[in-house]
Structure 1
Amino acid sequence: MSLVDRRDFLRELGGTLVTGGAALQSLLSLSMARAEDLQVTPSVVRFRPEMEDVASWIEQTPREQILQKAVERLKAGMGYRQLVGGLFLAGIRNIKPRPVGFKFHAVMVINSAHQLSLDAAQPDRLLPFFWALDNFKSAQAQDVKEGDWVLAPVNEAAVPTPSKSRERFIDAMNRWDSDAADVAVAGLCRSGSATEVMEVIWPYAIRDWQNIGHKAIFAAQAWRTLELIGWEHAEPVMRSLVFGLLNGGPGDSAIPYDVNLELVKQIRPDWMAGRIDPMVTTSLVQALRQATPKDAALAVVSHLNQGASAASLWDALLLAASELLMRQQAIVPLHATTATNALFYIFRESGSDSTRLLSLLQAASWIVLFREGTRARGGFPDKPNIDEFQPSDQPPAQLETVFVELQQDRNRAAAQTLAYARAGGAIGPFFDAARHLIFTKGTDAHDFKFAASAFEDIQNASPAVRPQLLAASVYYLRSAGENDSPLLQRTREALAVL
């Protein structure tokens, strides 16, 4: 391939993929299964033909060759949707969703990477997908080491008839029966529409906080990805999701759900007619610092019944989740943001009043669980309070200053960001700068998951709280002074051989 041809190819895909960068360290090599060990056999679920070929070569290509292979396939005319779908389904087939987290982030992060790429500058547009490909190969290797789990074909003889699938599914989920739920959800996918199936699944996705909210996150990410690649690929995805949702069995983390099921019945029927009230938002944020899971939900019920809008309450929940991360930059408070994002998404997507209200009450109860889970790990200060956090005296002269400051003092960078936003600074350029740093310096699934969640929530929040949420986001964003990701060098090498 000539240099001119390669440039034309890159321009069609979205410009030069990587520019500049410091010297990069090599990635640690991971032991991979042999290609012949990854062949699709009758004991492994098969996908629809248009995705089976893609998933298979992604599964079978060694990690050190996967980026080159992807570039070759794109150059040969493979569509982006098909490539994303093949990667997602390869993860569904090869990575065990128990626990929902850890190596399974390779599946859950795919839509986050896709969402961030949508508004990215052209030079960066494919970097998130290349990262997700490499991340899958790492997770696949880890799964092989842990027993090489694969999603087996459904037990066709046990799949219920269309008229019985919903009833059997609900019964199996209530009993935490994985085998019965597996065949029932297969029957649901074959007989129900996408929204019909998801309306049955959403309540179980938000049922328990086990795995620090990852069950709700998986459900939301599965639905989002299927919206991109097509519901016709839903059956194996829903089977994997249900298997993950039933991880661990019933426990204390599901207690708030049982309480909130009853509290939903106490909410006024015209709750959607509520008014925006910033004082209610502040009141709930303050209450969540001391409340029990039940008290948090009761506060939400009280505000709704007194005429407050759900939007004002979601503003409070987003602020409360962000406050936890401001106080401690660690894995539990991080998931307060990503799990609240998933519950907020389910609230917006569901057509059931009961499910929508349950997601709102669960979000309030879960904030308390995240608060106490963070405190249990130690090092959890009682400041800052997000509603009292003050901006710097002057907004930064240049937005880049914030991302340079991040490496030295995140509190100062947050104060500069708050001053920037309150002075009317545009959110778009901030997102652009943050995304570029994630693409070039990010090394972990949480870099992508957090940014996609935080940026989406900022845009869905009320204008009055957006500056605070934007300022809080810098506590988990990448700084300008960090080393570039080793994956940038591997991407250059993938392009250089063409």
Structure 2
Amino acid sequence: MHSPLRTPRVSRRQMLQSGALCGGLLAMGDLGMLSQLKPVSAAEAKLDPNVVRLDSSIEPLVRLIEETPREQLMEAVAARIKQGTSYREVLAALLLVGVKNIEPRPSVGHKFHAVLVVNSAHLASISSPDEHRWLPIFWALDHYKSAAQRDVEERGDWTMSAIDDSQVMPHAKAKAQYVEAMENWDEAKADIAAASLARTGGANEIYRLLFKYGSRDYRSIGHKAIYVANSYRTLSCIGWQHAEPVLRSLTYALLMHEGSNPSQRDDEADRPFRRNEEIAAKLRDDWTTGKLDSDATQAMIETLRSGSNDDACDQAVQLINSGIHPQSIWDAMHVVAGEMVMQQPAIVPLHSVTTTNALRYAYETCGDDATRKLLLLQNAAFLPMFRSGMGGRGRVKDVTVGKLSEVEPAKSPQSVDDIFAELGSDPMAAAQMTLAYLQGQENHSAKAKQLIDAARVLVFRKGDNAHDYKFSSAILEDYYHVSPAWRDTYLASNIFLLRDSQRKDNQLVSRIQSALA
């Protein structure tokens, strides 16, 4: 039986065929030509609670992206921007064209990264100088066209179907049906309820449910939690009037599973959540108070390195109940995720970092105390599961973050240029140089900012896949979420999966230059 979200569409198949600290890296080089587009101010790119919501005129822009061949899309969108199309309108169209046309099946990943990466591109954009803010968005537009072609080839040109307005329910009934449908993994009922909630409810109330269900199971190695966090963040910028197709797509993604109904069996992917619902109740009433303690963080790190997911959750509860602040637990989880990247700079540990970023965002954003407890414990449970996934791929190095400070780096970095030049040939040396550079006696905050800015520029220039944007946006954001005692170690460990300066530039810059000629 077809999902209520599936409708084949043949016509699109035919269309798709057709400063001193930083040295030279931050000079931007040939990225300056982006100033030929209408600059995006920081105020425009960031959320304004009083902004007028976008209206139905967004549909023509979505259609333009759908119908324009990939090799002509840069020129077409650049022309619209020159005519006055705003950043928010392009961002909204980029998200909506993805949720409408790309199915989050068989996995909430792969080609669906065209949707997952939208918020990461947005984060990169708002962290850039005004004249450079279009580059991540143009990259994401091009990536969508590639993913849409894959959807045609793999899923028969899926597109989201229209909702039957006669089935839309009042808010209270919709919320009750949504919870029941999600608990029972009922796609049809959940779809109608999601559309109803989008029309009758508010973002905070609805996303409290979505934060919970996004963390419920380990299927798709964290992409469900990532989609929840990223969709909330993008909707906060583009406006809630665009929520209905996003919530329907998101709900469909969260219900992804293999085989029979997960509520009627005992899958490994579901066990931590069922157990954590019970042990979360054991956390002390004032669990969000307590003291920061590096010894407690180190104890949690050791458990995450070698214990089971049950061990990790039990340790978190024990430490918090002994008077430790949850931040000490989050510090350990961020550090261990980064350590995994050192041990195996590949796809599984990359997602341990981006999933931790998503769950941390949900934890900080969700206003429901019970859900926040679950989010922390689910992250603790997922990290040993990521570690197990790494083992299944082999070649896990026997190295810990402690090695970064054990010896002086062979080369003493004078600027971030030295670090990113070394990264391509010797990532461990580059990581050690990073830690030494950041822990110098002078200008620590300035050095950190220059390194972060240089890393982002290199993604713009050298990045060639969605993970470059997802990963870099996650670690550069979470650097400031980790306590000062651990944050330099966190950033140094994650440099293994950033882009080095010796790598060949991608072709996007020259394509945009051509579009602007």
TM-score normalised according to structure 1 size: 0.89
Verify: 1:107 aligned to 2:115, yes or no: yes
Q: In 2, are the aligned partners of 1:418 and 1:471 still within 8 Å (CA)?
A: yes
Question: 1:155-166, aligned counterparts within 5 Å?
Answer: 155-166=164-175
Verify: 1:441 aligned to 2:450, yes or no: no
TM-superposed CA distance for 1:193, in Å, is 1.2
Distance verdict in 2 for CA 1:9–1:469, change over 3 Å: closer
Q: Which amino acid aligns with 1:230?
A: G
Structure 2 alignment gaps of length 5 or more:
1-31, 42-53
TM-superposed CA distance for 1:201, in Å, is 1.7
Q: Measure, in 1, the Cα distance between the counterparts of 2:418 and 2:228.
A: 38
Q: Partner of 2:379 in structure 1? A: 363
Q: Partner of 1:464 in structure 2? A: 485
Q: Partner of 1:487 in structure 2? A: 508
Question: 1:129-278, aligned counterparts within 5 Å?
Answer: 129-146=137-154, 147-248=156-257, 250=262, 251-278=267-294
Amino-acid identity (%): 40
Superposed CA RMSD in Å reads: 1.7
Q: Measure, in 2, the Cα distance between the counterparts of 1:259 and 1:126.
A: 45
User: What is the aligned counterpart of 1:124 among 127, 132, 135?
Assistant: 132
Counterpart of 2:499 in 1: which secondary structure? coil
Q: Partner of 1:85 in structure 2? A: 92
Q: In 1, are the aligned partners of 2:309 and 2:382 still within 8 Å (CA)?
A: yes
Q: Measure, in 2, the Cα distance between the counterparts of 1:75 and 1:242.
A: 36
Q: In 2, are the aligned partners of 1:93 and 1:151 still within 8 Å (CA)?
A: yes
Q: Partner of 2:433 in structure 1? A: 416
Q: Measure, in 1, the Cα distance between the counterparts of 2:57 and 2:296.
A: 51
Q: In 2, are the aligned partners of 1:113 and 1:448 still within 8 Å (CA)?
A: yes
Distance verdict in 2 for CA 1:180–1:13, change over 3 Å: same
Q: Partner of 1:76 in structure 2? A: 83
Q: Which amino acid aligns with 1:236?
A: P
Q: In 1, are the aligned partners of 2:37 and 2:81 still within 8 Å (CA)?
A: no
Counterpart of 1:483 in 2: which secondary structure? coil
Q: Measure, in 1, the Cα distance between the counterparts of 2:290 and 2:268.
A: 33
Q: Which amino acid aligns with 1:140?
A: A
Counterpart of 1:389 in 2: which secondary structure? helix
Q: In 2, are the aligned partners of 1:124 and 1:436 still within 8 Å (CA)?
A: no
Q: Measure, in 1, the Cα distance between the counterparts of 2:481 and 2:150.
A: 36
Q: Partner of 2:61 in structure 1? A: 54
Q: Partner of 2:5 in structure 1? A: none
Q: Measure, in 1, the Cα distance between the counterparts of 2:435 and 2:462.
A: 24
TM-superposed CA distance for 1:123, in Å, is 5.2
Distance verdict in 2 for CA 1:387–1:122, change over 3 Å: same
Aligned length: 459
Counterpart of 1:169 in 2: which secondary structure? helix
User: What is the aligned counterpart of 1:432 among 444, 453, 460?
Assistant: 453
Q: Measure, in 2, the Cα distance between the counterparts of 1:272 and 1:284.
A: 17
Q: Measure, in 2, the Cα distance between the counterparts of 1:214 and 1:409.
A: 30
Q: Partner of 2:346 in structure 1? A: 330
Q: Deviations over 1:219-271 (max 9, x none)?
A: 00100100010111111100000000000152321110001000100000101
Q: In 1, are the aligned partners of 2:215 and 2:224 still within 8 Å (CA)?
A: yes
Q: Measure, in 2, the Cα distance between the counterparts of 1:272 and 1:279.
A: 18
User: What is the aligned counterpart of 2:73 among 52, 60, 66?
Assistant: 66
TM-superposed CA distance for 1:163, in Å, is 2.3
Q: In 2, are the aligned partners of 1:50 and 1:82 still within 8 Å (CA)?
A: no
TM-superposed CA distance for 1:111, in Å, is 0.9
Q: Measure, in 2, the Cα distance between the counterparts of 1:386 and 1:256.
A: 27
Q: In 2, are the aligned partners of 1:395 and 1:417 still within 8 Å (CA)?
A: no
Verify: 1:397 aligned to 2:414, yes or no: yes
Question: 1:268-307, aligned counterparts within 5 Å?
Answer: 268-307=284-323
TM-superposed CA distance for 1:8, in Å, is 10
Q: Which amino acid aligns with 2:316?
A: V
Q: Partner of 1:354 in structure 2? A: 370
Distance verdict in 2 for CA 1:209–1:200, change over 3 Å: same
Q: Partner of 2:36 in structure 1? A: 10
Q: Which amino acid aligns with 2:288?
A: M
Q: In 2, are the aligned partners of 1:213 and 1:339 still within 8 Å (CA)?
A: yes
Counterpart of 1:13 in 2: which secondary structure? coil
Q: In 1, are the aligned partners of 2:300 and 2:329 still within 8 Å (CA)?
A: yes
Q: Partner of 2:9 in structure 1? A: none
Q: Measure, in 2, the Cα distance between the counterparts of 1:416 and 1:205.
A: 37
Distance verdict in 2 for CA 1:364–1:7, change over 3 Å: closer
Q: Measure, in 1, the Cα distance between the counterparts of 2:391 and 2:306.
A: 12
- Of 254-263 and 392-401, more deviation after overlay is shown by 392-401
Q: Deviations over 1:51-99 (max 9, x none)?
A: 2111111111100000001110000001100011011100010000111
Q: Which amino acid aligns with 2:491?
A: L
Q: In 2, are the aligned partners of 1:121 and 1:432 still within 8 Å (CA)?
A: no
Q: In 2, are the aligned partners of 1:282 and 1:387 still within 8 Å (CA)?
A: no
TM-superposed CA distance for 1:158, in Å, is 2.7
Q: Measure, in 2, the Cα distance between the counterparts of 1:7 and 1:364.
A: 45
Q: Measure, in 1, the Cα distance between the counterparts of 2:190 and 2:433.
A: 51
TM-superposed CA distance for 1:162, in Å, is 2.0
Q: Which amino acid aligns with 1:335?
A: H
Q: Measure, in 1, the Cα distance between the counterparts of 2:379 and 2:222.
A: 10
TM-superposed CA distance for 1:407, in Å, is 0.6
Structure 1 alignment gaps of length 5 or more:
1-5, 16-46
Counterpart of 1:273 in 2: which secondary structure? coil
